[in-house]
Structure 1
Amino acid sequence: EVSIVKELPREYSWSSREYYATGIRATRIKTAPVHASADWYLENVLPVMQSYGIAAISPFSHRLAFDKLPVEIQHLRCKVNFEALAFVPRIRLIGETLVNRLRDPSGKLQASGTAVLRERIDDTEKERAGKFVVLHLRFDKDMAAHSACDFGGGKAEKLALAKYRQVLWQGRVLNSQFTDHELRNQGRCPLTPEEIGLLLTALGFNNNTHLYLASHKVYGGEARISTLRTMFPLMEDKKSLASAIELAEVEGKASLMAAVDYYVSLKSDIFISASPGNMHNALLGHRAYLNLKTIRPNMLLLGPLFLNKTIEWSEFQHAVINGHKNRQGQMRLRKEKQSIYTYPAPDCMCRA
C-alpha cells in the first residue's frame, strides 16, 4: 500500500510548477523515457527521493512500461487509476445529479433559473430506477476535418474542411491521401449522428431508450443531430437535465464539461462511443474494471455497410447484430504493449 495525498506536506510546499519553471532543480527529472522499466525508476528516481524526500517527474505521460513489471506494481497502478483518483466534489455532485435525473425522469427539474440540486437517491432506489445509455458523440469540427472523410455536405463542405485541416495541421494528416471510399472501407471515418443512430436502432434500442448525449460541440450544430433526436426522443444532455445555475461552475470550461460527461458515462448501464479516442479508451478500461457494459462499434464492418446505398434494413440489421456479438462488454485480455488502463484484464483482476 502507498499513501496518496491530495496536496504536498508543508515541508515540500516549495515544490511547485513555478519553482521548476524558474531554473534547473536537482529534484526535477526530465529524462524519464516513454514506457521505462521499473529498474529505470529504481536507478534514477529512488536516489533523488532518498536524497531530497521528493522527486518531480515532468513530463509524465506513459512513462512506465505496461509489460514485464512485478505484479504488485501492476496492482498498485490499477488501484491508483481506478480507485484512488477521483473527481473534485463539484464534478461528482453535478454528475450524480444528472445520473439521478436520468434514472428518475419524472423527478427531473424543468428549466428554471432557481432550480437547486436534488438530493441523492439511495442505493435501493437506484436499483429500482430506470436504465440509460450514454452515447459519446465525438463529432466536432476538428474530428471531421482531421478524418478527411466526406460527410455529405457537398463540394463547399469538403473545401471548407480541407482549408481548416491545412490551417491546423499544415498537411500532416495521413488520411488526406486516401479517398472517402478507401477511408470508409478501412473503418477510419467517425460515425455521424445519423449513422450512430442507425447502429443503435439495429442493435435493438428504440424511441423508449433513455439516451444521454456526451458531447462538446457537434459539427453542424442542432441541425446535424436532429435525425438522431427524432430516432431517440428521450435523448438528454447536460443542458436539458440541469439549470444554468447548476452548470455555472463548469459552463464554458471544456475540461470540466468533459469531466461531467465522463462521470455520467461511467455510471451508465451501457456506454457507446461514435469513434475511438482518449475518452473512449479511458472509459472502456474503467468500465471493464467495474464490470460494466461497453459497446465497441465495429468500424471495419460499418464503413462498407454505410457505403452500400441499396442494402435492405433487414440485411443491415442482421450484419450489425452478427458483427457485434463479441463487442458488447465481453472482457478482453490485454495484449503486449497495450495500455493497462484501456485493457485492465488480467493485470488488474484477481485470479480465481
Structure 2
Amino acid sequence: MANHRGGGGYNHSRNHPSTSRIRKSFFLSVTLYVTLVFALSIFIFMLYSNDIVQDERKMPLLRVEDHKSDKLLDDQLWRAPSSHGLRPCVKPTSKYGATAVWDRYITVRSNGGLNQMRTGIADMVAVARIMNATLVIPQLDKRSFWQDSSTFSDVFDELHFITYLQQDVRIVKELPKEIESLPRARKHFTSWSGVIHVAKSDSRLANNDLPLDIQRLRCRALYHALHFSPSIESLGKKLVKRLKSRAERYIALHLRYEKDMLSFTGCTYGLTEAESEELRVMRENTNHWKIKNINSTEQRIDGLCPLTPKEVGIFLQALGYPPSTLIYIAAGEIYSGDTHLSELTSRFPNIVSKEMLATKEELRTFSGHASQTAALDYIISVESDVFVPSHSGNMARTVEGHRRFLGHRKTITPDRKGLVQLFDKVEAGLLQVSSLSQHVKKLHEKRYGAPRRRAGAPSGIKGRARLRLEESFYQNPYPECICTGR
C-alpha cells in the first residue's frame, strides 16, 4: 500500500501535462522579465554615463573660461600702464661742463616734512650749480609739527650724497672755521661773495623753462644722490620682503587722515562735534597756519579734503579690488585710531602698517623721529604694486614722480571732487549702489599713472599764480628726465 501511494504520487506529478506547461510558462516569464530589467538597466546606465562624460567634457571648458575671466580682471587691477619705450634720462648734455670751485658757500635750513625737505634739497643742489657755489650739507627742520631732532646723516647717506654729485656741485659737511663768523646774505643773489644762507628750502625752483641740464641735475640729486641712510634702506627692504611673503602683490595706501592734516585743511566730514572742535582749536593755536576759518563742506565739495577711511574703502571696492587685498597703510597716527580706521578694515581686513611688520626692536632706533619713519613709508610706497594717495600732499606727489621715473609703476590718483559727488548721490538715493563701480571706473580711466607730459597752468592764468598752478616738476619729471633716449 505504501508502495502504491508513493509510486502513484510520483507518476502523477511527472506525467500530468497541465503542470508541465505551467512551469514552462513561469520560467519563460521570469526569464523575459529579468532580461527586460537587465536591458533597461544597461540603457539607463549608458545614458547616465553619457551625461557624465558630456558634463566632464564641458566642466573643464567652464573652468578655463572662469580662469581667463579672473586673470583678465586681475591684470586690469594690478598691471602697470605701458611706458611706451620711455626710460630715465638724466645724463648731462655735451654742453655741461665740470663744476667750478668758488670760494662762495650756500647754507640751507630745510623746512617741512620729509618730502618737502627732499625736494627742497634737490633744488638747492641746482641753485648751487647755477651760482657756482659750494653747498654746505643742509640742516633739517627741527621746529615743524613733528619736532624731529634728526640730522642729515640720520636720514640720508651723507657720504653718497657728497661723492655722487662731486662732478656737479662741490658739497662740504660744514663751513670752514675761518668764515663761520662772516655775515651771510639772505636776499640778494647778485654780485656777492662769502656766504648766502637760505632760511627755507621750499621756495621752489620753477617747474618749467629751466635749462635741460639743470632739470636733469634736479633728478640726479633726488633719485640718485639723495639716498636714505643705510639703516633706513635696510629695514625698508626687509619690510617690502615681508609684505611680498604675505601676498604676491600689495597696495600702498597713503592715508592722510592724521590730526594735523585734518586740522590744517579744516576737513571735518564724518567726525563728531567734539572731534571737529578739537581740530578747530588746534588750527587756531598754530601760528604759522594763516587760514583760521574754513568751511568744511565747501572744502569737501571742491575736492580739497583727504578721502576718509570709509571713502577709500568704497573707492577701492568700486575699482574691483577684493576684500582679501593686502593693503599697507603709509601714514602717521590715524586720527581717533580704530574708530575711523575700522570703516576701512571692515571692507579690507588684510591691512598692515610698519608697526605690524617690524619688531619693536627694529623700530626702536626710529622712535620719535618722524622723518625716519616717513622714509620707511616712502620706500614701501615706491616699491608697491599699486600706490594710492588719499590726498595730494608732498609725499603723494613725490612718490608719484619717483614711480613715473622708475617706469610708470601703477599709481591711482583719486579724483576727490568727482568721487564726493558720486558718494553724495548714492547717499541721497540719486544713484544706485550697483552702478557706482561703473561710474568710478569711468572717472579714473586716465588716472593710473600712464606717461604724459607735465601739465602747465590753466590757460589765461598769468604771473605768480601761473607758477603755483603748474604741475610740480617732482610729480612728473617728463619730458626732461624721462625720454626715449638715454
Counterpart position of 1:126: none
Counterpart position of 1:184: 300
- Deviation per CA, 1:78-100: give whole Å up to 9, x if none: 12211222111111111001100
- Of 449, 464, 468 in structure 2, the residue corresponding to residue 329 of structure 1 is 449
Tell me the secondary structure at the aligned position of residue 138 of structure 1. Answer: coil
Q: How does 1:92-111 map to 2 (within 5 A)?
A: 92-105=233-246
- Of 343, 346, 349 in structure 1, the residue corresponding to residue 476 of structure 2 is 343
CA contact 1:184–1:304 (8 Å) conserved in 2: no
Counterpart position of 1:292: 409
Tell me the secondary structure at the aligned position of residue 482 of structure 2. Answer: coil
Q: Look up the equivalent residue of 1:69 and give its one-letter code.
A: L
Tell me the secondary structure at the aligned position of residue 212 of structure 1. Answer: strand
Bigger Cα Rg: 2
- Of 27, 31, 40 in structure 1, the residue corresponding to residue 187 of structure 2 is 31
User: How far off its partner does 1:195 sit?
Assistant: 0.8
- Deviation per CA, 1:262-302: give whole Å up to 9, x if none: 01101111101111101111111111111211110101101
User: How far off its partner does 1:340 sit?
Assistant: 1.6
CA contact 1:340–1:347 (8 Å) conserved in 2: no
Q: How does 1:58-69 map to 2 (within 5 A)?
A: 58-59=198-199, 60-69=201-210
User: How far off its partner does 1:29 sit?
Assistant: 5.0
Counterpart position of 2:372: 256
Distance 1:248 1:90 in 2: 12
Q: Look up the equivalent residue of 1:209 and give its one-letter code.
A: T
Label 1:217 to 1:86 Cα distance change in 2 as closer, same or farther (>3 A).
same
Counterpart position of 1:313: 433
CA contact 1:292–1:329 (8 Å) conserved in 2: yes
Q: Look up the equivalent residue of 1:83 and give its one-letter code.
A: H
Distance 1:152 1:5 in 2: 46
Distance 1:19 1:130 in 2: 57
TM-score scaled by structure 2? 0.58
CA contact 1:289–1:344 (8 Å) conserved in 2: yes
User: How far off its partner does 1:152 sit?
Assistant: 2.6
- Deviation per CA, 1:276-330: give whole Å up to 9, x if none: 1011111111111112111101011012222231232222212111110100111
- Deviation per CA, 1:130-150: give whole Å up to 9, x if none: 111100111111122222233
Distance 2:350 2:439 in 1: 27
Tell me the secondary structure at the aligned position of residue 246 of structure 1. Answer: helix
- Of 325, 330, 334 in structure 2, the residue corresponding to residue 218 of structure 1 is 334
TM-score scaled by structure 1? 0.78
Tell me the secondary structure at the aligned position of residue 130 of structure 1. Answer: coil
Q: Look up the equivalent residue of 1:340 and give its one-letter code.
A: F
Distance 1:171 1:252 in 2: 23
CA contact 1:189–1:303 (8 Å) conserved in 2: no
Q: How does 1:1-352 map to 2 (within 5 A)?
A: 6=161, 15=175, 23-25=181-183, 28-31=184-187, 48=193, 57-59=197-199, 60-105=201-246, 130-169=248-287, 172-173=290-291, 176-178=293-295, 180=297, 182-290=298-406, 291-308=408-425, 309=427, 310=429, 311-336=431-456, 337=467, 338-351=471-484
Label 1:23 to 1:294 Cα distance change in 2 as closer, same or farther (>3 A).
same
User: How far off its partner does 1:254 sit?
Assistant: 1.0
Distance 1:264 1:104 in 2: 14
Label 1:249 to 1:56 Cα distance change in 2 as closer, same or farther (>3 A).
farther
Of Structure 1 and Structure 2, the greater helix share is in: 2
CA contact 2:378–2:399 (8 Å) conserved in 1: yes
Label 1:241 to 1:340 Cα distance change in 2 as closer, same or farther (>3 A).
same
- Deviation per CA, 1:97-119: give whole Å up to 9, x if none: 110011012xxxxxxxxxxxxxx
- Deviation per CA, 1:23-47: give whole Å up to 9, x if none: 434xx55326xxxxxxx7xx65xx7
Tell me the secondary structure at the aligned position of residue 206 of structure 2. Answer: coil
Q: 5+ residue gaps in structure 2?
A: 1-91, 93-97, 100-158, 457-466
CA contact 1:98–1:264 (8 Å) conserved in 2: yes
Label 1:161 to 1:325 Cα distance change in 2 as closer, same or farther (>3 A).
same
Label 1:321 to 1:74 Cα distance change in 2 as closer, same or farther (>3 A).
same
Q: Find runs of 4+ consecutive structure 1 residues off by over 6 angstroms.
A: none
Aligned sequence identity (%): 33
Distance 1:171 1:350 in 2: 40
User: How far off its partner does 1:169 sit?
Assistant: 4.7
Label 1:294 to 1:170 Cα distance change in 2 as closer, same or farther (>3 A).
closer
User: How far off its partner does 1:58 sit?
Assistant: 2.0
Distance 1:13 1:303 in 2: 49
Label 1:342 to 1:154 Cα distance change in 2 as closer, same or farther (>3 A).
same
Distance 1:218 1:133 in 2: 18
Q: How many residues matched?
A: 307
Q: 5+ residue gaps in structure 1?
A: 33-39, 106-128
C-alpha RMSD over aligned residues: 3.0
- Deviation per CA, 1:213-271: give whole Å up to 9, x if none: 11111011122111212222221111111110111111221111101000110111110
